[in-house]
A and B are shown apart, each in its own frame.
Chain A
Amino acid sequence: MAEVSVKNKLRELRAARDWSQADLADRLGVSRQTVNAIETEKYDPSLPLAFKTAKLFRKPIEEIFLFDQMD
């Protein structure tokens, strides 16, 4: 099976709003470690958290989380 990874633009979007990881974590209702793990692509968020993130940044989900298929 092909390996699948999810890239994201969370760090750029957060930086554009001048939010710290703790600010974003508060807004999403998660811990700062979770925001850091998503930004560094060590952890892929659940679908509800991804939708919540998209809603917070007012962008379509696929603009923030990018599907990347590797063979």
Chain B
Amino acid sequence: MDKPNIPDEIFLGGSKQYSWRTDCRVNGWLMVAVLMSGASDFFFAQQVRQLDVAWRTVIALAPFLVLPLWMRNLAQWIRGMDELHRRITLAAVLFTVSATFFFVLLWHRLEAAGFFEAICPGRKSWDIGTVGHEVLLLTFFYILGHTIFNRRFK
């Protein structure tokens, strides 16, 4: 019988069962989106700013063309889990999406209120709108959520 997928396969450094190959298969397109966003937001930001608005829009939206491919791979991977891990992972994903949404909303409200400027003056931007920022938040909240929901069944 085929072995079911298990969440530990993509927990970087967290388990003996971690598999770089599986991680790439599941999260490869997400890594591509992070690289695309990183290239346009950091490494080539000056060059991108000089392009006309149509090109800048295409570059800004490019990572979002790749993200559905990641979501498809993630959904397939979750479908390949057994019922307990699927339940834990879906609960963790729901927690991750909600927590990231509230965190970003809260961050923008605090930024608009001048909170960050008041506690650390001089920094130009407190923006957390890049794909890299969102991936860091998603990863953090997924690990937190998964640890919480998995603990019940250990």
Contacts and interface: CB of A to CB of B under 8 A. Distances in A.
A45 B6 CA distance: 17
A5 interface: no
A49 interface: yes
Contacts of A13: none
Contacts, number: 36
Interface in B95-154: 152-154
B83 interface: yes
B84 A29 contact: no
A33 B1 contact: no
Contacts of B82: 29-31, 34
Interface string A8-42: 00000000000000000011111101100100001
Interface of A: 26-31, 33-34, 37, 42-43, 45-46, 49
Interface of B: 1-4, 6, 82-85, 152-154
